[in-house]
Amino acid sequence: APVWVSKPLDSSLEEGKPGYLHCYAQASPQPEVSWYRSGMEITPEDSRFKLFPNGTLRINNVEVYDAHMYGCETRTIGGRLSGQARVTVLEKLKFTPTPQPSQCLELDKEITIQCSAKGRESPSIRWTKADGGELPPHVDQRNGQLRFTKVTRSDAGNYTCIASNSLQGEIRALVTLTVAVYIRFKVEPDNTTVYQGHTAVLHCQASGDPEPHIHWMVKDKALHITKNGRIQKMPNGSLIIRDVTTDDTGRYTCVVGNSCSIKDRVAQLYVVDKPFPYHDGEDDDKAPYKMIQTIGLSVGAAVAYIIVVLGLMFYCKKRRNSKRLQKGQDGEEPEMECLNGGAVQQNGHTTAEILEEVALTTMGTVATTEKRHSHASDKLHFPRANLQTITTLGKGEFGEVLLSKAKGIEENEAESVVLVKSLQSRDEQLQSDFRREAEMFAKLSHPNVVRLLGLCREADPHYMILEYYDLGDLKQFLKISKSKDDKVKSQPISTKTKVSICAQVARGMEHLSNHRFVHKDLAARNCLISSQRRIKVSSLSLSKDVYNSEYYHYRQAWIPLRWLPAESVFEDDYSTKSDVWAFGVLMWEVFSLGEMPHSKLSDDEVLEGLKMGKLKLPAPDGCPSKIYKLMVRCWAPGLKERPSFTDIVHALGDQPPDSKV
């Protein structure tokens, strides 16, 4: 039987340094050793750990979230030994998040630059000018905030944020501040209708300092412009498309940016066939009039339609109010005729949705009118000073994802635990994606979708504040429930609860798809779960560290390869139906208790399997055949063959969460 030589001991490990745990037993033959982290086995494929033949476990670079219970099991023919050790992480003195080294100040505006830090002892924070000069009178600092009451040109320069405590000394971050005039549109592109074969002109002019650069996108992809081609960009930024065809019809985005700001505006181009030419010379003279007449009739019809819809909404509201009065008189429940504040359902779409289509508004696009955009921002603005970082959950494409306390962000709650996504990238596409994600969560309201609680955009880095659930992400919950460690293992998850989890995600995704949003990264790691087994669709996307093994670098982007259909990987085509594919994989995760999809295949083999159309996950143990058949339908090669989220909701049924799990 094995005899302990060095058993696991509770350890305090320093953040940012390697940490070692020992598990060495003497026996003949040499025993095999397995390590577990909160009940989940640590495999050699996990690049964050190193397993040595003598049973020692090395955590290559200790992070705050490595504070867990670790267990080891040593086995030989004569028997086995097991031991446990609790790891406490000694936090290093660090910035949370690290201030961006280059930041911008808008001329003549009041601007605040934030610097936050954490350590074993709460640090004091102060700002200085890097050259040792005094801060000017219109600049003050408090609680790590450097506030410029009115930015002047002389405020540009290098500043240093210094965080210090008595235990760990001090750390410094150098920040270069640039003073700029942010982008202003002088001419915005308008919706335009032209005849096939004619020339279309979309105007777009803007000012700013530094001088802004203008580029165009069509259908959310960069527009290919050649020197002497059919499509030309004028020096002032306007776009000219000669000899237009119906293929040129679509949504054109003028993106204007300089080193400090980026803005965009959208216009719709319609290319229509010419009217059938008459041989009567008199009619040729009337052609322009006929075009105006056609456009006038179209616009008139659209206006008439909107008036009819508004009339219906007014009628519904009036009828509902009268029914409420009737209810008060005779005690009966009124019949629900007007949903969502008067939006009448028509063929599965609300009048609000139909009106949006008439107005050519694309919900998934960040380009809205300036007034609407600023109104939404004002409503969601949350004071950065009321956020207190608890810990860093990990890093994603945008930057660090933090768990924080927010004072007064929820009604009737003095303090709430929230998820904070920070934007620490200057990449234009990532900045646009960040705004698009914030807009998506701002417009959604559903019990199975996280709510956007607030935004901090008055200074860098920008913050998106989202709801958080006490048990964290669904992936960790599933893996812990599979644990062999009795101290961390939860009770087994019943099939009924697994179905309920899937049904809740499906209802959340149905809400997203009804609002014409595409998630693009649906997986168990991006859903939150509460102790009452309530589920919310979220978007943590910790692609840089915690879940980096679940992402694959392909064509200059990190993609969740094992959750995507072929059209998304090879054609960059994302839609509700690609979300349906990902949902099928999420169901598989739930019923396999957090297993990695295609765990026996390398990323290259998964890529090849997608190309060949031969990729299919096996049925998880104990998975009902009806559920697995639904998964397989989600993975149909053809988009039209995959079910809608409404179909999936009906298939899974409307089961309440099983709170007994």
Binding-site residues for ATP sit at 394-401, 421, 467-473, 525
Q: Is 66 part of the annotated catalytic residue set?
A: no
Q: Residue 411, class by beta-carbon neighbours within 10 Å (0-12 exposed, 13-18 middle, 19+ buried)?
A: exposed
The neighbour count for residue 412, using CB atoms within 10 Å, is: 4
Half-sphere exposure in the Cβ direction for 428 (13 Å, CA): 16
User: Whole-angstrom Cα distance, residue 584 to residue 578?
Assistant: 10
Surface-to-core class of residue 625, CB atoms within 10 Å of its CB (0-12 exposed, 13-18 middle, 19+ buried): exposed
Sign of CA dihedral 560, 565, 570, 572: negative
Q: Burial, 297: exposed, middle or buried (Cβ in 10 Å; 0-12, 13-18, 19+)?
A: exposed
Residue 510 CA to residue 504 CA, distance in Å, equals 10
> Hunting for tokens 């669709």 — which residue is that?
537
Structure tokens at 257: 């940016």
Give the residue numbers of the binding site for Mg(2+).
526
Contact call for residues 101 and 174 (beta carbons, < 8 A)? yes
Give pairs for 630-634: CB < 8 Å, separation 24+: 630/584, 630/587, 631/584, 631/587, 631/588, 632/584, 633/584, 634/580, 634/581, 634/583, 634/584, 634/585, 634/587
State yes or no: cis peptide before 597, omega within 30 of 0.
Answer: no
In the set 66, 460, 521, 579, the catalytic residue is 521
Binding region:
394-401, 421, 467-473, 525-526
**φ and ψ of 426, to 5 deg:** -95, 0
- Name the nearest CA neighbour of 178 among 263, 100, 102: 102
Select from 82, 119, 91 the least CA-distant residue to 12.
91
Per residue in 259-280, is it b (16+ CB within 10 Å) or e — as a string? ebbbbbbbbbbbbbeeeeeeee
Indicate which residues carry an active-site annotation.
521
